[in-house]
Amino acid sequence: MTAQSPRVLVVGAGPAGLAAAAAAVGAGAQVTLLDAADQLGGQYWRHLPEARPSVKEAVLHHGWQHFVSLRKGLEGDRRCEIVTSAQVWAIEQHDDRVAVQVLIGPPDGRDRARRSIVPDALVLATGAHDRTLPFPGWQLPGVYSGGAAQALAKGERVAVGQRVVVAGAGPFLLPVAASLAQTGATVLGVFEASRLRRLAGGWLPRPWRLLGAGKKLGELAGYAKRQVWQRIPYRTGFGVIAAHGGDRVEAVTVARLDANWSPIPGTERRIAVDAVCVSHGFTPRLELAVAAGCALDADGFVEVDAAGMTSAPGVYAAGEITAIGGADAALAQGAVAGHCAAGGLPGDRTIAAAVRARATYSEFAARLDKAHGITPGWVDWLQDQTLICRCEEVTNAQLRGAAELTSSAGLRSLKLNTRAGLGICQGRMCGRSVHEILTRCSEGPLVNAATDRRPIASPVRMGELAAAFHQRETEHQERNSSS
Amino acid sequence: MSSRLIAASDDPIRPKDSAVISISVDGETVTGLAGQTIAGVLLASGRPSWRRTSGDGSPRGVFCGIGVCFDCIVTVNGDRDVRACQRRAADGDQIRSQHDALPNAGVPR
Amino acid sequence: MVVIGAGVVGAACARSLTLAGLTVVVVERGAAASGTTASGEGNLLVSDKGPGDELRLAQYCAALWPGIAEATASELGPGFPSIEYDPKGGLVVATTDAGAVPLLEFAAAQRGAGVDARPIEVGQALQLEPELNPGITAAVHYPQDAQVQPVAAAEAFLAVARRRGAKVRTGTTVTGALRGSDGALVGVRTDRGDVHCGTVVLAAGPWSAAVAAVLGVLLPVRPRRGVVLVTTRMPHRIFHKVYDADYVGAVESSDADLQTSSVVESTAAGTVLIGSSRQQIGFDDRLRVEVIEELAAKAIRLFPFLAGASIMRTYGGFRPYMADHLPVIGADHRLPGLFHATGHEGAGIGLSVGTAELITAMITGAPSPIDASAFSTDRAGLRGLLGDGLLGDAMPVNS
């Protein structure tokens, strides 16, 4: 490391973060790569742990060899420091840079090691999580997000059920169904909320524009082939509108949905299940980007320029926090952002392929939204007693009632008065749904609708905070006594 | 019992053998494999839920599976609010399920 | 009349004024209860105030709150969010040998002023709060301290006012004054049109200085930042409002640098709120980890078990700070038609209801429930801080 080599910090070791770290190293930076998990790969390449390695991990993954080579390259490079089990819990903004606060140790541990990093450039690649719209009974054990089924299958080899329904919206339902089938479960159906006409509208026009996205098409075709092979019924224009059971899910109600995703009365059908996996898309994990001061676009993603730089000085973003475009898009965005964070330019030849790929896959994100984006009719499947906020057990009726009684347009006030979004997940599960429900029952736009602002990005023990204070006090006293 | 571990013999990815660990869950011994998360051990043992909510005491287990929803939190060796889907189980871990009642009347004044 | 600001003070004023039969329009730049009110713990304290005018106001308010809480709840019905009025009492403890005597002396002086301040043995304190650090050196129990949920309280006051005809215009910014031919204020200009009225009550908390300037007068209220930590839900183990005696020193201090002292209490949701910090850094709301760490360390000094508790959220706000530590309540002697209700610093939630009664009495000409001369704009403590009369001629807008 020379005095000139910039220090680049990459947060998140999924496709975008790995590509960013590799590109930054390639451009001459000294890189630190952090991930909250104890292995690299993110949710996309989640795999069995070292304690229980798989002989044929590649069977479960797309691009597994690419991951292995990225990982090997970074692990073998002295210019890259990899820190796993590293939870970024806060980011401080200073006038021209940010200070990233990290706790290193077991998740939600008690005496994790503290580290504060002030890099020359920061690349955020924190990814996204499933967005599951609330429906009656969605809090029952046995109802999972699609990501949970995937994570348990890939990271644990746990099958969530024997008779399973997959529902929601988007191409991600296919790999979820495929990996469930690979656990030996019977997938009784995949129910895609969008209707065929809308799917065609999103995916079919100008197909030549997607020619470059060959891998993406291959990936989807691969899922489809496996789906045909497994004889999993795939129905469009249907949704799971309720889950039933006592202490766990026993059945779901599936109904036909109109173009607006509003259930059509009389089309309900009950299916006995022991698990159901529901995802209606993805929510970007924005708390660190918001904490770093990055501006968001109208759709609630981090705004980036051609270099992958955000509105915050020295802060770059890549992957699903900038748009939901899939792993190939994330790899391309990561390579560009990492290269530029290290001082390179978007026009540099070394990243020309990534820049081209990024342009190709950006089309994918727009099509995804056009074909599968959430439409407002979903609120019609809510009942009064449907939980909206899972943590604080706030029902649809309570939420709407508070909005009507207080005639308040303040999201923060409504949250404080109902506690919706104020529980331990800090609105990660319900935030956007609460916002949509309240927008529908208030006259104007909601004020102070800062759903993604969470200055404490992950819970931190008070003892860990206090230790930092006492250490500072001790150092202060030592300095005073020595001077 | 519907959640379960895929038998290694049936598994196309052929996981290698790993050490058997045992943890205590509300006083009951549950065995698992080294490298599993606490949620993985609990689900593999056929438990669909372990936490009870503060409002109506309804059961919760894993929902998001990736550390975002906090539905699966447990107390591990005395530390509350540990996400079971994120923490690897360690041999001998003492797990307690959480049911935190809301504050009520009848407190010392 | 126009009330500027829909925080708890503006909402309380709207409530009192409409109860007195007056017609009220509340003008609020953002959303109701979205500024300082949304960042407070909801303290209704007598314990942190030494003998003097602010204590008298606090005592008056402490007497008002139970009746207002009950009347508001019965008027708005069970469907309305509860304001969570809880007369849980305060427990103030000293954690050092040096701190014990000043705490007991302070309590004795308060008793002389009519405060129910009961020195108790450490063993008795541990009966009240079994998880308290047994190493405390002195403790005083204040049964008159209470708590509310401030956002719910503000919303409830606004709802009561609306039931009596008040209009609440959120998302509306005051852009100028409307003056009569005699120079008196006869309304405000906003970005959504003019509002004519006989009287303007300015209750914009720390933003009152900026609004006052728009209306044409200098008001030396400044933001003093405070940060509160929120834990995850836990079994109920803290039963009172418990704070370190050095809190009083921090409240009364004028130091601009960061000061922290520990204030710990449970909420009805099962979370624990941990304050408090005081820092004069303008309206800079950026997170500072050092502040959070210091607050955590001091709270653990009171309740050692909190070392294992998790912080899930922190929020900061700006208290309206006056250099002489007294609120400004009453007519502005420089600009007829303008009344102020601000400058309560960290006590505005508790003092809101009494402030509203004083303002209402002044406007209706009813006898003042307590002597409010200490809170006037022409008090000695503000001399030299108000500039000389009205701001430049360009400001006023003729109606």
How confident is chain A (483 residues) per 10-residue block, as mean pLDDT? 80 98 98 98 94 87 94 97 98 94 97 97 97 98 97 94 96 89 90 88 63 50 52 91 97 97 97 98 96 93 97 97 93 98 97 93 82 92 97 94 72 79 94 87 60 92 97 90 75
| A456, closest residue in chain C (CA to CA) | C313
**Is C392 a residue whose pLDDT tops 60?**
no
Supply the angle between the helices A327-341 and A214-230 in degrees, to the nearest 10: 150
Torsions phi, psi for A95 (to 5 deg)? -60, -40
- Within 10 angstroms of residue A106's Cβ, the number of other Cβ atoms is 18
- The pLDDT of residue A408 is 59
pLDDT of residue C121: 97
Q: Which residues of C touch B80 (CB under 8 A)?
A: 232, 234, 308-310
Q: Does C387 touch chain A (CB under 8 A)?
A: no
Please give, rounded to a whole number of angstroms, the shortest distance from the CA of B45 to a CA of chain C: 28
Contact status of C41 with chain A (Cβ, < 8 Å): no
pLDDT score for B16: 87
Give A-chain residues touching C299 at CB under 8 angstroms. Answer: 462
Is A156–B5 a contact, with Cβ atoms under 8 angstroms apart? yes
Helices then strands, counting H and E runs in chain A, come out as: 13, 22
Residue A391 contacts B where some CB pair is shorter than 8 Å = yes
* pLDDT value for A182: 84
Q: Which of B5, B12, B81 sits opposite A158 (nearest CB)?
A: B5
CB–CB contacts below 8 A, B to C:
40
CA distance C345 to chain A (A): 21
Say if B107 is an interface residue toward chain C (CB within 8 Å). yes
Nearest Cα of chain A lies from the Cα of C298 at a distance, in angstroms, of 8
Q: Does B27 touch chain C (CB under 8 A)?
A: no
Q: How many CB atoms lie within 10 A of CB A211?
A: 9
Question: Which one of A106, A155, A428 has the shortest CB-CB distance to B68?
Answer: A428
Instruction: Say yes or no: C266 contacts chain B, CB-CB below 8 A.
Output: yes
CA dist., res. A362 & res. A357, Å (int) = 8
d(CA C278, CA C295): 11
pLDDT of residue A226: 56
Which of these, C126, C387, C318, lies nearest to C239 by C-alpha position?
C126
Q: Which pLDDT score is estimated for C397? A: 44
CB atoms near residue B57 (< 10 Å): 9
Torsion angle in degrees (nearest 10) through CA of A215, A10, A8, A80: -80
Q: Which residues of C touch A401 (CB under 8 A)?
A: 79
| Cα pseudo-dihedral A230, A233, A237, A243, rounded to 10 | -100
Return all residues near C126 (Cβ < 8 A) that are at least 6 apart: C132, C134
Please choose, from the candidates C397, C341, C370, the residue with its C-alpha nearest in 3D space to the C-alpha of residue C58: C370
Closest by Cβ to C310, choosing from B81, B101, B104: B81
pLDDT of residue A220: 53
State the virtual CA torsion across C121, C127, C130, C136 in degrees, nearest 10: 0
Q: Which of A401, A455, A468 sits opposite C314 (nearest CB)?
A: A455
Q: What is the Cα–Cα distance from C187 to C67, expressed in whole angstroms?
A: 33
| Residue A385, burial from CB neighbour count under 10 angstroms (0-12, 13-18, 19+) | exposed
Instruction: Test A52 with B35 for CB contact under 8 angstroms.
Output: yes
How far apart CA A307 and CA A121 sit, in angstroms, is: 12
A442 touching chain B per CB within 8 A: no
Residue among B36, B58, B64 minimizing CB distance to A147? B64
Nearest CA in chain A to B48: A141
∠ CA C253-C259-C261 to the nearest 5 degrees? 95
pLDDT in tens, C348-374: 999 999 999 999 999 999 999 999 999
Residues of chain B in contact with residue C269, where contact means CB-CB under 8 angstroms, are 102
The answer to whether the Cβ–Cβ distance between C89 and B109 falls below 8 Å is yes
- Cβ–Cβ under 8 Å, residues B87 and B37: yes
- Return phi, psi of residue C378, to 5°: -100, 25
CA atoms of A248 and C56, how far apart (whole Å): 58
Average pLDDT of the segment spanning C154-175 = 95
Tell me the shortest Cα–Cα distance from B107 to chain A, in angstroms.
23
Buried b (16+ CB within 10 A) or exposed e, A423-443: bbbbbbbbbbbbbebbbeebe
Question: Do strands C138-142 and C118-120 pair parallel, antiparallel, or not at all (unpaired)?
Answer: antiparallel
3-class DSSP assignment, residue C142: strand
Return residues 283-312 of C near A (CB < 8 Å): 286-290, 292-297, 299-300, 306-312
Q: Under a CB-based contact definition with an 8 Å cutoff, are residues B49 and B71 in contact?
A: no
Handedness of CA C23, C28, C33, C35 (dihedral sign): negative
Distance between CA B76 and CA A461 in Å, rounded? 14
| Predicted confidence (pLDDT) per residue in C31-75, tens digit | 899 899 999 889 999 999 999 999 999 999 999 999 999 999 999
Establish if C332 touches chain B: CB-CB under 8 angstroms: no
pTM attached to this predicted model: 0.94
Residues 22-61 of B with CB under 8 A from A: 33-37, 39-40, 43-44, 48-49, 53-56, 58-61
C276 preceded by cis ω (within 30°)? yes
- 8 Å CB contact between B73 and A424: yes
pLDDT at C55: 97
How confident is the model at residue A2, as a pLDDT? 47
Establish if C88 touches chain B: CB-CB under 8 angstroms: yes
CA-CA distance, C281 to C275, in Å (whole number)?
Answer: 18
Question: How crowded is residue C196: how many other Cβ atoms within 10 Å of its Cβ?
Answer: 11
Q: In whole angstroms, how large is the CA radius of gyration of chain A? A: 23
Tell me: pLDDT of B105 over 60.
no
Q: Is C177 on the interface with A (CB under 8 A)?
A: no
Q: Do B7 and B76 touch, CB atoms closer than 8 A?
A: no
Under a CB-based contact definition with an 8 Å cutoff, are residues A369 and A52 in contact?
no
B69 touches chain A (CB under 8 A): yes
Task: Write the CA distances from A47 to A53, A67, C371, integer angstroms.
Answer: 9, 11, 72
Query: Residue C396 — very low, low, confident or very high, per pLDDT cuts 50/70/90?
Result: very low
A469:C306 CB<8 A: no
**Is residue C221 within 8 Å of residue C343, measured between CB atoms?**
yes
Residue A226: φ, ψ to 5°: -65, -35
The residues near A389 (Cβ < 8 Å, ≥ 6 apart) are A399, A418, A419, A420, A421, A422, A423, A427, A429, A430, A434
The answer to whether B53 contacts A182, with C-beta atoms less than 8 Å apart, is no
Residues of chain C contacting A462 with CB distance shorter than 8 Å:
229, 231, 274, 296, 299-300, 306-311
Best probe of the C interface among A469, A472, A476, by most C CBs < 10 A, is A469
Alpha carbon of C76: minimum distance to chain A alpha carbons (Å): 9
Which residue from C326, C320, C327, C312 is spatially nearest to C280, judged by alpha carbons?
C320
Q: CA-CA distance, C191 to A365, in Å (whole number)?
A: 39
Residue A351: predicted pLDDT = 96
- CA of B17 to nearest chain C CA: how many angstroms apart? 36
Chain C interface includes A470 (CB < 8 A): yes
pLDDT exceeding 70 applies to what percent of chain B?
94
Query: Mind telling me how many Å the CA of A409 is from chain C's nearest CA?
Result: 6
Chain A nearest C-alpha distance from B66 (Å): 6
Residue C193's DSSP bridge partners are: C190
**From CA B69, how far away is CA A392, in angstroms rounded?**
12
In whole angstroms, what is the distance from residue C170 CA to residue C192 CA? 10
Residues of C in contact with A454 (CB under 8 A): 313
Please write down the HEC assignment for all residues of B2-59. Answer: CCEECCHHHCCCCECCCCEEEEEECCEEEEEECCCEHHHHHHHCCCCCCEECCCCCCE
CA–CA min distance A378, chain C (Å): 26
- pLDDT, one tens digit per residue, over B22-75 is 999 999 999 999 999 999 999 999 999 999 999 999 999 999 999 999 999 999
Distance (Å) from the alpha carbon of B85 to chain C's nearest alpha carbon: 18
Chain B residue with minimum CA distance to C89: B109
Q: Is C144 on the interface with B (CB under 8 A)?
A: no
Query: In degrees rounded to 5, what are phi and psi of residue A451?
Result: -65, -35
